[in-house]
Structure 1
């Protein structure tokens, strides 16, 4: 399909620049647009990753907007943003601009994920955040092992209910599991219950 590529690229860049300008004005009023934009980005990465090599694409701005979208109250928008990151992170070795932005801003992504697990996001979304952690661990292991220890150091983060030992155990468990995504989801579910003070309560039964 090389002959059709320039118009697709032009359209992709146009949609991206229009949506990024929306982020500067206040994206909270348009969760549906943000949701669709995240889905478009994920599809582009899946089917036409070359679009992310275009010099005119501000990958850093796209990344930062997607981190912001993780904090939206609307579950579909959060899910779509998680889907974008699970497509983006595997590309950090092959697309230079993606690798660069992950190195520069990946810590910000991890902190947003830990905040969500710590109680900021609905428990029904924990599998989506676990997918991001799994992708970070699989594709950016050395960075994640440095970031996760730093990020969990401040007392009270991501929850005042956690002891330093519990945080330590969680980071070690996550870093050890690079193959089994289901195990990572279980670890995240357990950790979010500890963060919310629900571990060992009736809540766990139906979780």
Structure 2
């Protein structure tokens, strides 16, 4: 049997070393302070993004109950049990809060080739433990996430991937390593 590392290309091996060095230098902690000041950037109601106007009855799928933030190197969301409005209190948000998902986060100062997407991975796709909604005022939310990551994943997006086929060698990697995440998010909700 060949170990996965035996088939790494030189670029993948070098990138894995950089990731391990980054984690060592940061003492196995990813600290992020994500702040948006423009009302046009921030968390956007998911269903307004996809153009969905139906009313849903499933938990967390009502319009204005799921909010996403998408940028070049970030994609994350926060979900609530019921519709949230700009005038709700922080206590209402805390009671209605259901989960966050951290699909894509940056690793600041990690020197990775520009064609690679590198992101830490949580053990489960969405979670509520370790999330504290600190404030909500005038449609602006601030929340803090203390979580664990189990790996760093990287890939070179393929223009025309073949369904159910493995990615070509040298286009993906995973560095399995437990580390902490301390993330503060401060941005407007209902961004346009």
The alignment's TM-score, normalised by the length of structure 1, stands at 0.22
| Structure with the largest fraction of helix | 1
The alignment's TM-score, normalised by the length of structure 2, stands at 0.23
Highest relative contact order (Cα 8 Å, sep 6+), 1 or 2? 2
| Structure with the largest fraction of strand | 2
Please say which structure displays the higher CA radius of gyration: 2
